[in-house]
Amino acid sequence: MKIDPTAVISPKADIEEGVEIGPYSVIGDDVCIGKDTKIGPHVVIEGPAVIGKGNKIYQFASIGTPPQDLTYKGEKTKVIIGDNNVLREFVTINRASTKEEGVTVIGNDNYLMAYAHVAHDCRLGNNIIMANSATLGGHVRVGDHAIISAFVAVHQFVRIGEYSFVGAKCGVDRDIPPFMLASVDETGPRAKLFGVNSVGLRRKGFSKETIEVLKKAYKIIWREHKNLSKGIEKAIAELPKIPELELLLSFIKSSKRGVVR
């Protein structure tokens, strides 16, 4: 364990072996920091918070601060962060409100670049990239392997599906289905679908056959039909029943905010 003498560590914090804490960082009550996590200078972590093993948290990051929610009255909620995440400079992660389960969750192996913001009650999976200044409103869900580019603003309660890609400077106010690519066009900053995230899927090892099925599904659901329900029916009838297609269709059918088109 290597803790700079200028760091302020609560006696109620639980710091495991191999942890490094840099100058002037502040670790509050009820914070648990897992083995081999490295915390840079001027980091603030407020509890209750659980941070797993092997994370790298850079200077001026702020974790576990109260939710930016006017209805919050100081209730005891928390943040849980998994293992092997990288949280770059000025990343902010708020603890939860009481409107759901009282916890903001970050999974494993995620990379949050400088100034990324994760609001209260968000749940992020694993292997996600959030680029510089990407912002998640409260209660957002982000699936595994999603990439959210710089300056993207995601509305409260939106879902970002697995293996999706969101281009820079988007305003995302509806769900982005798994495996899809969303970005802006000349009509304005609101996110729109531009097809399957083919490059990303190839890089992740998806077969040509799977990608082709997803491309056909995109064409049937979003290009041939204005009515999503009819497009889904046709996709079910005409396309092979592969797990990726099942996930895509299930995501669309379960959407409460509607999906990006």
Q: Choose, from 121, 137, 175, 200, the residue flagged as catalytic.
A: 121
Would you call 14 a catalytic residue per the annotation?
no
Give the span between the Cα atoms of 95 and 63, in whole angstroms. 8
Active site residue 74: no
Q: What whole-number distance in Å separates Cα of residue 63 and Cα of residue 90?
A: 10
Contact 151/169 with Cβ under 8 angstroms?
A: yes
Number of residues that this document lists for the chain: 261
Choose, from 120, 139, 175, 231, the residue flagged as catalytic: 120
Residue 26 burial by Cβ neighbours in a 10 Å radius (0-12, 13-18, 19+)? middle
CA atoms within 13 A on the CB side of 214: 27
Closest to 116 in 3D by CA, of 189, 68, 63, 48:
63
Alpha helices in the chain (DSSP H): 198-203, 208-218, 228-238, 243-253
Tell me, yes or no, if 120 is annotated catalytic.
yes
User: C-alpha angle with apex 31: 92 to 157, nearest 5 degrees?
Assistant: 40
Vertex 232, ends 229 and 237: CA angle to 5°?
Answer: 130
- Give the torsion sign (CA, 159, 63, 104, 126): positive
Active-site entry in 40, 47, 64, 138: 138
**What amino acid positions are annotated as catalytic residues?**
120-121, 138
